[in-house]
């Protein structure tokens, strides 16, 4: 199978799994998922995955840990978030910081 | 038949739902642009927003593929990030009481925002109004803005020249930020980041991110329940990062 077809397969499989997860919530009796421990683990799994994605997208390139313009961009994004800037502003700001730093050769 | 009072309450909920929908829909632009930067084409990007329709999972899916990860790791990460939607569904089902096709539609638009607006309402009827207007509103705008972002991203060319790789990291930080109110969440985030970076040189791409989920299970399973006060009194300024 070509890489393009494999990507399509992954897109459709992931979409199907995510929909099945949503539907499961609507179909199971509420008390099955009402346990505090289940809710806590689920919310922490979200936190852990997002934190790992921040780290990997900030500090790694081709399987190595590196420090480059992305770190400054993410630091600026963190400041913007602390100042309650909207999501779109945060994302655009980070892109601008990284693009400017690279343009001047950092 | 609605009394004038109920009509006013309904308009307030609809307005609230639409403002959330516009704010959320807008960042479909960044998803579309980042998906193209990660190597997907316009159709695959549009399919993700149309069929997966859960922002965190969509960003994670393209994040893993963009980092060179395989399809299996991308699917697994998206699924794990989507597990909270099952909890939302279980909370929404008793309020919505839908059947058949409407239940499938309700499941599809069960996301962070529709659940948040629904649970913020005082009575069941307004919760339903909030859920549907938010869910369907975001669905329409998220898909439209995804296509716009993908077209713009495609025209930009080399993603790193425009800082789109840094924008992806910032997008994940933006999704993470509101969830860092408790000490336990901050600790989990820090441990997850360290584990993911430590495994990066030795594990195949995508695996370090999945391994970080194990951190959450370990930290979430044991220990005393989170004191409720902590999440109520925490100020955004005190959030760790």
Where in chain B are the domains?
Answer: 4-179, 181-241
CA A90 from chain centre, in angstroms, equals 14
**Tens-digit pLDDT profile for residues B87-105:** 899 889 999 999 999 999 9
Residue B234 has pLDDT above 70, yes or no: no
Q: Is B128 near chain A, with CB under 8 Å?
A: no
**First vs last C-alpha separation in chain B:** 50
> Which range among A27-31, B151-155, B159-163 shows the weakest confidence by mean pLDDT?
A27-31
Going by C-beta distance under 8 Å and a sequence separation of 6 or more, which residues neighbour residue B67?
A56, A57, A60, B205, B206
Q: At how many degrees (to 10) do helices A36-59 and B164-176 cross?
A: 160
Going by C-beta distance under 8 Å and a sequence separation of 6 or more, which residues neighbour residue A97?
A69, A72, A73, A76, B163, B166
Q: Is residue B3 very low, low, confident or very high in pLDDT (cuts 50, 70, 90)?
A: low
Give the CA-trace dihedral at B112, B117, B118, B119, to 10 degrees: 80
- Does ipTM come in above 0.85? yes
Q: Which residue has the higher pLDDT, B157 or A8?
A: A8
> Which range among A98-102, B104-108, B130-134, B222-226 shows the weakest confidence by mean pLDDT?
B222-226
- Tally of CB atoms within 10 A around A83: 11
Compute the nearest-CA separation of B10 from chain A (Å).
Answer: 25
Query: B200 phi and psi, to 5 degrees?
Result: -55, -45
Residue B222 has a pLDDT of 77
Asked if A98 and A92 count as a contact pair (C-beta separation under 8 A), the reply is no
**Tens-digit pLDDT profile for residues A21-43:** 999 999 987 777 778 888 888 88
Nearest to A41 among B68, B91, B217 (CB): B217
Q: Is residue B223 very low, low, confident or very high in pLDDT (cuts 50, 70, 90)?
A: low
Strand (E) or helix (H) holding A78: helix A69-82
Residue B158 has pLDDT above 90, yes or no: no
Residues 65-104 of B with CB under 8 A from A: 65-68, 71-72, 74-75, 77-94, 98, 103-104
Most distant CA pair in chain A, distance: 58
Residue B226 has pLDDT above 80, yes or no: no
**Tens-digit pLDDT profile for residues A69-105:** 999 999 999 999 999 998 889 999 999 999 999 999 8
What average pLDDT does this structure show over A5-22?
Answer: 98
Contacts of A27 in chain B (CB under 8 A): 93
3-state secondary structure of A52: helix
Interface test with A, best of B23, B34, B59, B86 (most A CBs within 10 A): B86
Asked if A38 and B45 count as a contact pair (C-beta separation under 8 A), the reply is no
Which is nearest to B94 in space by CA: B139, B122, B128, B121? B128
Which is nearest to B113 in space by CA: B149, B84, B93? B84
Residue B75 has a pLDDT of 97
3-state secondary structure of B209: helix
Cα–Cα distance, B72 to B75 (Å, whole number):
5
CB burial of residue B72 (10 Å; 0-12, 13-18, 19+): middle
Residues of chain B above pLDDT 70, percent = 90
């Amino acid at each position: 199978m070509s890489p393009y077809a494999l990507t399509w397969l992954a897109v459709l499989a992931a979409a199907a799994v995510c929909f099945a997860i949503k539907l499961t919530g609507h179909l199971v009796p509420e008390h099955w998922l009402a346990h505090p421990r289940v809710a806590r683990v689920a919310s922490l799994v979200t936190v852990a995955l997002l934190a790992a994605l921040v780290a990997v997208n900030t500090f790694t390139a081709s399987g190595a840990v590196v420090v480059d313009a992305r770190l400054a961009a993410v630091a600026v994004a963190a400041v913007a978030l602390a100042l309650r800037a909207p999501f779109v502003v945060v994302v655009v700001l980070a892109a601008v910081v990284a693009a400017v730093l690279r343009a001047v050769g950092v | 038949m609605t009394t004038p009072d109920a009509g006013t309450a309904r308009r307030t909920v609809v307005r609230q739902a639409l403002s959330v929908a516009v704010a959320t829909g807008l960042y479909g632009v960044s998803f579309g642009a980042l998906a193209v930067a990660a190597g997907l084409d316009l159709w695959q990007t549009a399919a993700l927003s149309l069929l997966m329709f859960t922002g965190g999972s969509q960003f994670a899916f393209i994040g893993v593929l963009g980092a060179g990860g395989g399809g299996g790791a991308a699917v697994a990460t998206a699924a794990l990030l989507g597990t909270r939607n099952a909890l939302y569904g279980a909370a929404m089902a008793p309020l919505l009481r839908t059947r058949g096709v409407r239940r499938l539609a309700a499941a599809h638009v069960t996301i962070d925002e529709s659940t948040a607006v629904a649970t913020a309402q005082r009575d069941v009827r307004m919760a339903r109004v909030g859920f549907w207007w938010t869910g369907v509103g975001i669905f329409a705008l998220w898909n439209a803005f995804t296509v716009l972002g993908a077209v713009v991203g495609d025209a930009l060319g080399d993603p790193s020249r425009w800082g789109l790789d840094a924008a992806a990291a910032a997008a994940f930080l933006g999704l993470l930020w509101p969830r860092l109110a408790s000490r336990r969440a901050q600790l989990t985030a820090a441990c997850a980041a360290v584990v993911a970076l430590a495994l990066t040189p030795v594990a195949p791409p995508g695996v370090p991110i999945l391994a970080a989920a194990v951190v959450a299970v370990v930290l979430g399973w044991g220990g005393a329940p989170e004191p409720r006060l902590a999440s109520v009194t925490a100020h955004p300024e005190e959030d760790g990062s």
